[in-house]
């Protein structure tokens, strides 16, 4: 049995990330092994979770991987831990469209985990009880096991809130503290990998804040009320291979799921991380490239200045899988800066945010796709590519026997054959498997 908690809130901006990351850090400081998880397709929060716990942050998303894989992936990631902490997404019941599919509540039900509701009490006192009552009774399948009050202004404010919540376990009361704020920009929080020293210090402050504001023992007791889960942990399918797969990293390319590296290694690949901002050459023996998501628009000048690497990528004869930021790096120009030119198109920053889940069909065979196959993914960007390409009928992109490049973020645990297709093609690039 894996003790576990889901940290949820009535809405975005209530303090879920503060509480979840701080709780992870506080419990680790208390000597426990903590497994960090995040509901949804978010890449940034798991980076802070990893700093707080010393373990990879992992995502739980029924839309991207299928309902049937959520529990196995959770058990795979949480193996050997003392407590698993799952940070929710948006409001507790906010899911895809008019349903709660892929919501925090959906994942909490799948995990049979108690929920801790983080309530922003900054502009209310007794009314917090009405909010909590509504969330606790809205869906009887979701067990709200306690409340953490956030942004409490004074002792008197805390007394009023606690009195109104009589009968509901109040597991913490966090005072307003601007010193723990995490800097943001156009797509949300700045990734931890871009500000490692500052991020490490910020996570430590969050841990101290939660440790002095919350009842850690009561939270652990609540986590231990979660029952045993059915089934077996996710098992990575193992294949034979001998390829070197170079994966873009560094400050410009921070988006990636932990399972992708595990799948590549299980497919027989040696994974070598390279930094397109600083490395002038691809890793020795590279047989395939993976260029995932991130913020190339922030680093366009530095990426453009690394001419030797851009030219090597442009002429690279092996397979390349690219998503979103990777697509922009492979195109001809980004905001007037020269990129690799491996795929046609010019990209520009846009005021419009493109965000949401996608269910798309491949219009042709490519490195990762087969014509007519459907893929569930996620888009999250403020750029526009011209021309957009037509690899996916709904979102565009480019593809041929050696390239799959689009705005679509995929979770390969939901399609483990993708890693095998990439590694197999790296051994014989002319053969489309």
Helix ranges (H only) for 214-305 are 216-223, 258-266, 300-305
Angle CA 396–63–89, to nearest 5: 105
- Number of other residues whose CB lies within 10 A of the CB of residue 92: 28
Phi, psi of 260 (to 5 degrees): -65, -45
Beta carbons of 406 and 393 less than 8 angstroms apart: no
**Could you tell me the CA-to-CA distances from 142 to 118, 133, 227 in Å, in that order?**
15, 13, 14
Q: In whole angstroms, what is the distance from residue 258 CA to residue 59 CA?
A: 8
DSSP notation for 102-171: TSHHHHHHHHT--EEEEEE-TT-STHHHHHHHHHHHH-TTS-EEEEEEEEE--HHHHHHHHHHTTTS-EE
What's the number of CA atoms in the CB half-sphere (13 Å) around residue 58? 27
Give 239's DSSP letter.
-
- The helix or strand, by DSSP H or E, that contains position 312, with its residue range, turns out to be helix 307-314
**Is there a catalytic annotation at residue 324?**
yes
Q: Which residue of the set 161, 214, 324, 340 is catalytic?
A: 324
115-121-122-127 Cα dihedral, nearest 10 degrees: 140
Q: In whole angstroms, what is the distance from residue 69 CA to residue 89 CA?
A: 18
Q: How many residues does the chain have?
A: 433
Q: In whole angstroms, what is the distance from residue 326 CA to residue 349 CA?
A: 15
Q: In whole angstroms, what is the distance from residue 8 CA to residue 108 CA?
A: 10
- Number of other residues whose CB lies within 10 A of the CB of residue 393: 11
155: tokens are 């002792």
18: tokens are 């503060």
Q: In whole angstroms, what is the distance from residue 411 CA to residue 205 CA?
A: 32
* Bridge partners, 160 (sequence order): none
Task: Enumerate the active-site residues.
Answer: 324
């Amino acid at each position: 049995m894996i003790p576990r908690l889901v940290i949820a809130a009535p809405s975005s901006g209530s303090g879920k990330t503060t509480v979840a990351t701080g709780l992870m850090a506080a419990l680790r400081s208390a000597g426990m092994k903590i497994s960090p998880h995040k509901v949804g397709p978010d890449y940034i929060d798991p980076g802070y979770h990893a700093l707080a716990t010393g373990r990879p942050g992992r995502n739980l998303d029924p839309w991207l991987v299928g309902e049937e894989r959520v529990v196995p992936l959770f058990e795979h990631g949480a193996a050997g831990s003392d407590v698993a902490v799952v940070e929710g997404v948006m409001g507790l019941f906010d899911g895809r469209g008019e349903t709660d599919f892929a919501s925090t509540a959906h994942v909490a039900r799948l995990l049979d985990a108690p929920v801790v509701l983080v309530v922003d009490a900054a502009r209310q006192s007794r009314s917090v009880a009405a909010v909590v009552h509504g969330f606790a009774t809205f869906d009887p399948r979701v067990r709200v096991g306690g409340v953490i009050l956030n942004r409490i202004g004074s002792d008197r404010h805390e007394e009023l809130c606690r009195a109104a919540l009589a009968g509901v376990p109040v597991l913490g009361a966090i005072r307003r503290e601007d010193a723990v704020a995490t800097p943001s920009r156009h797509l949300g929080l700045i990734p931890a990998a871009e500000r490692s020293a500052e991020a490490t210090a910020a996570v430590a402050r969050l841990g101290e804040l939660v440790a002095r504001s919350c009842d850690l023992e009561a939270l652990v007791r609540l986590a231990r009320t979660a029952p045993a889960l059915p089934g077996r942990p996710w098992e990575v399918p193992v294949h034979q291979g001998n390829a070197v797969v170079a994966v873009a990293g560094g400050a410009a390319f921070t988006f990636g799921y932990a399972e992708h590296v595990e799948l590549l290694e299980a497919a027989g690949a040696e994974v070598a991380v390279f930094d397109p901002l600083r490395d002038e050459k691809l890793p020795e023996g590279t047989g395939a490239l993976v260029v995932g998501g991130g913020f190339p628009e922030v680093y366009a000048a530095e990426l453009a200045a690394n001419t030797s690497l851009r030219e090597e990528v442009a002429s690279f004869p092996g397979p390349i899988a690219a998503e979103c930021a990777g697509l922009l790096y492979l195109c001809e120009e980004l905001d007037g800066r020269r990129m690799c030119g491996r795929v046609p198109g010019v990209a520009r920053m846009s005021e419009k945010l493109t965000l949401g889940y996608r269910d798309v069909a491949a219009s042709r065979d490519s490195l990762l796709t087969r014509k007519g196959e459907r893929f569930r993914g996620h888009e999250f960007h403020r750029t526009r590519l011209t021309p957009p390409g037509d690899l996916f009928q709904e979102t565009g992109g480019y593809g041929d026997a050696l390239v799959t490049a689009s705005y679509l973020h995929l979770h390969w645990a939901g399609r483990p054959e993708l890693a095998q297709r990439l590694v197999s093609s790296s051994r014989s690039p002319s053969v489309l498997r």
